[in-house]
Structure 1
Amino acid sequence: MNEAENVLDWLQGWYSAQCNEEWEHEWGIKIDTLDNPGWSVRIDLEETDLEGHEFPRHDLKRGKDDWVMAWTSEMAFHTACGPGNLTEALILFRKWAVENTPNSTTLRFL
């Protein structure tokens, strides 16, 4: 199985792991579309194991519709990407989250 095959399942598991009857009322994950076209994702990090960790800005442009940007700010992981790059953007978040979470062995298999 390649890393793209289960990134959405992993993200659902990560989200569920944050839900504690409080976090989900204030924070969450927002996936939206852009008009250029593309995707925008905001993943709140406040009150998670990733709070305070920085993701250095990542800008990759391969073509008009083939691009990914990612960064952390305002206690959130942000990514914007081309219309066919949503999986790639979510994989960036997963890789960073696993590398920066103390109990990352659990996160690897969610």
Structure 2
Amino acid sequence: MTGDPFGFLQRWYAAQCDDEWEHAYGVTIDTLDNPGWRIAVDLVGTDLEGRAFDWRSLDRTEDDWIHIRSDGRLFQGACGPGNLAEMVAEFEKFATTPASTGSI
């Protein structure tokens, strides 16, 4: 782990860009209305394609929670309003841990 999840995400995204991938795939970070955040990271055409795990959840309080999963084509997650960096750090763990056992 780098200690800088957003820096890792930026570098990972830039490494995927090959004048083709970024035209069809990418990374989306959006807000939820409950409130919270969501992330979707396309894995197709990357070294992470095919790596999957079922939903993993950590629910601390109504506003402090995180849920992540990967179906092998898309890493996705949702989290509370103060957990965005933690959720992006979970993507970093997924991307840098062989066969991603995940941590939540």
TM-score, structure 2 as length reference = 0.89
Question: Residue by residue, what CA displacement relative to the aligned partner does 1:28-78 show, whole Å, maximum 9, x if unpaired?
Answer: 000000000000100000000000011332111000000000001371000
Residue of 74, 77, 85 corresponding to 1:76: 74
Aligned length: 99
Distance 2:33 2:55 in 1: 22
Range 33-42 or range 51-60, more displaced = 51-60
| Runs of 4+ residues deviating >2 angstroms | none
Gaps of 5+ in 1: 102-110
- Checking the alignment, whether the CA contact within 8 Å between 1:40 and 1:78 is kept in structure 2 is yes
Structure 2: stretches of 5+ with no match in the other structure: 100-104
> Aligned Cα RMSD in Å?
1.6
Between 73-82 and 10-19, report the one with greater CA deviation: 73-82
What is the aligned-residue identity percentage?
46
Amino acid in the other structure paired with 1:71: R
Q: 1:25 — aligned with what? A: 23
| 1:1-110 mapped onto 2 (5 Å cutoff) | 5-73=3-71, 75-100=73-98
SS in 1 for 2:59: strand
Matches of 2:41 and 2:98, distance apart in 1? 15
Scaled by the length of structure 1, the TM-score of the pair is 0.84
In structure 2, distance between residues paired with 1:97 and 1:6: 14
SS class of match (2:38) = strand
